Amino acid sequence: MFKRTKFNDTLLNWYQANKRQLPWRETSDPFKIWLSEVMLQQTQVITVIPYFEKFITKYKDLDALANADEEALLKDWEGLGYYNRIRNFHHAVKEVQEKYDSKVPSKPEEFFSLKGVGPYIGGAVQSIAFNNQLAAVDGNVLRVMTRLNRDNRDTTKVSVQKDIKNFIESDMPLEAGDFNQALMELGATICTPRTPKCVVCPVREHCEAFKKGEVMNYPVKKKAKKKAEYYYNVFFILNDKNEVLLFKQEGDLLKGMYELPRFDVDTSLESIEEKYGLSLSQPSDAIGEHKHVFTHKIWFMEGYVVRTTDQHENFISLDKVRDLPMSVAMQKMFKMIDGL
């Protein structure tokens, strides 16, 4: 076990001298700090920066985002993925507006009660915005801590994550927010998964895995399950006004996003006609294909053009499609009909 006080001091000094200049580190506004942490979940920093800057320009404070239309938020979020993040954040900031007079709660128990706030988001925002003594344990922190302690437990287990969180909190420095960010910064820039820079690591003298030459053995994770694969035909159903049939998703994965009709590959044209009450032409030859990888599944999609002279309330002008919130998977499909 390493000497915590010396480790904490060394890490904090390194962080103050070497931290990256990031836009959310230039604010003390709890709302903006919270927004950044929501965006950074499962998304790289370089991807988040332009989205964060766009959001804080358009939604200057908590009230502005709380009062925004969900469809507009989804459109602005388009490309970041994991759309439940912005839906939950929108729900949570509206609750803050109504229940806490638009002030992000500084009491952990109140903040943790909000929709979408889990152990990581809660610890990060409460420590960075209010300096509450809570750890924020993400993948970077798990990697750093398991290497420091040669901890060979399975880090995908919630019980192990809780133990590591408790270990960090057992000797948290007064600068809790900076300390959490220092651990994350170390994991993101030095103690990386595949090419750790141990030779320049400021805390290598405390690292048991480094001393044993076993850095690449940590963290230990159980083998991920193979992603489920799904095969779909996606239809551009066009009418004589050059409008395309689109539907707003209701399911959990892409709720609120607009999508082209998507069917299992063995679905007959007759059943599609029956579903929509339309008389359809025979599909074109496939105009393209796209593979889209989600966290736990993979979609393999082929696109087809189908025409109809019938009417349907869900036909939308092709000129207006670009203004609608749409998943990256559907955006890629739409590129297939450019110029058709």
Which active-site residues does the annotation give?
37
Q: How far apart are CA 177 and CA 187, in angstroms?
A: 16
Per-position DSSP letters for 137-202, written without gaps between them: --HHHHHHHHHHHT--SBTTSHHHHHHHHHHHHTT--S-HHHHHHHHHHHHHHTS-SSS--GGG-T
Strand-pair partners of 317: 243
Strand-pair partners of 237: 306
The values of phi and psi at residue 97, to 5°, are: -60, -45
Q: How far apart are CA 327 and CA 74, in angstroms?
A: 9
C-alpha to C-alpha distances, 24 to 29, 49, 141, 170, nearest whole angstrom: 9, 9, 19, 27
3-state secondary structure of 269: helix
CB atoms within 10 A of CB 258: 20
Are 120 and 85 in contact by the 8 Å Cβ rule? The answer is: no
Are 284 and 270 in contact by the 8 Å Cβ rule? The answer is: no
Q: How far apart are CA 163 and CA 165, in angstroms?
A: 5
C-alpha to C-alpha distances, 296 to 227, 228, 253, nearest whole angstrom: 5, 7, 11
Q: How far apart are CA 261 and CA 306, in angstroms?
A: 11
Q: How far apart are CA 296 and CA 224, in angstroms?
A: 10
For Cα atoms 181, 165, 13, give the angle at the middle one, nearest 5 degrees. Answer: 30
Residues 6+ apart with CB under 8 A from 271: none
